[in-house]
Structure 1
């Protein structure tokens, strides 16, 4: 959503038109985001602030996808969390234990974007991973498109832990296909009839390709047109913004 629908507190061009077009054409969608700082309910509230109404089932965050993955594969996990309150809330909602107050009990370390990150949190996570705790990253985005400009993202935190532990994290969000598969399952979609729209080549577009989807890049976030032209990761389509995507959908269905 960040860099596609909005940047910070500013709606990007054509956001409302995209939702109006999708609803009028009966196009199902999931708003899938790697941003691990908010819960699904918080995203609904933000969208309402822009005058857009969606349901909770139409939002899939990397914390939700991570919680669903752990609930399926490690339901007894005791989790030490680096991240903001939305991440811990999603883990608890799936019945998982968050043990930040007793970190020595942790069997898993889950790392999401944390704007209150401290050295103590990093050190605790490093020690736990070195002792054998499973290392999971909600998403690998090394940067984040803020209102102030491009700033460090969760991938920067993962890099610090990867270097200090020698352990590669299991990534749940894009570009790994797990999150895309969860989104398609919610919609009843398949790779043949599903497209991904995103602003990043290394997560959104590569993630769509890894899941076998049609890929659409918009130029309102991280990736510029020059970067897209020079990259080995090639989207199927490139549009200036989400409004141009809405216009193309409308034209294709008239």
Structure 2
């Protein structure tokens, strides 16, 4: 009866069940507790909620269902870990919402209900159901608009001293989170995307016969040597070699 929470109801606990249970109890070392840190899972769950990603949310909850019992062992400790994770994720999510009170009222039951479930299976199943409904109500179109605005801004101002932190301030996002969102949307890190855009524009200017140091300044590189290394990285040759090759081919690069 004491193990009902972990093993479920309406079944007899068998000797074979004791082995994973004993391993679970002896495995509560510092490493496992670090792996099952509620703060870590709260951040992952928050990102999943904020990006309205069902797949990411399910992945986080499934990891919690495996890691928390191994790290905390008892029903009380496991429930406390789930409740702490949900509390931290909800608070972080609410901090970025206009209707914060309404969001809290709608989803605070996710935390309080943790203590009402008789088994781990019930706790996980109902938490999954709640979070998927939550994501279903979320309008993810807002982030698509933000990404479009951000890309439009980059394409208009690529020749300036653009930094992710600057854009994060403009769009009222945490810079680390905006970087993850940007990479998820474009498939590339912010700096790599900006460099590629600048080099493409540099190709066009070099094809017009403009001097290398002038091109560097026009596409946003204050240091000509730095521009040289970036151009070689993405184009496979130096800017001057590229310009000579294009002009030799009559204004095209092949």
Could you say which TM-score interval applies, normalised by the shorter chain?
A: under 0.3
Superposition TM-score, scaled by structure 1 size: 0.20
- Which structure has the bigger radius of gyration? 2
Considering fraction of residues, name the structure with more helix: 2
Structure number with greater CO (CA < 8 Å, separation at least 6) is 1
Considering fraction of residues, name the structure with more strand: 1
